[in-house]
Amino acid sequence: MRRAGWTLRLDAAQDRTYDLQATLAGLAPSWKPCRVEADGHRVRFEYDAAKRVLTFSAGLSVDGLLRVSRCH
């Protein structure tokens, strides 16, 4: 079974914006991001397929939830 995505829950003292850069090199080469959501809201992102690096900025609440979904 292939993973459809991954989720990251953040626990912070206050709402804030995070600038994230994540390598996807540990995932299968066919795994490519299609959607990023922060607290249920779609976030614009960039994906460098050659380097397998996902980059985006996202505003999250104190108990924020970040989701990255793969292309099918």
d(CA 63, CA 49): 30
Domain count along the chain = 1
Q: In what side-by-side order are the strands of the sheet with 65-70?
A: 5-9, 65-70, 33-38, 41-43
Q: Does 42 have pLDDT greater than 70? A: yes
Instruction: Please give the mean pLDDT across all residues of the chain.
Output: 91
Chain-centroid distance of CA 26 in Å reads: 14
User: What pTM did the predictor assign?
Assistant: 0.85
- Domain encompassing residue 45: 5-70
Q: What is the pLDDT of residue 2?
A: 53
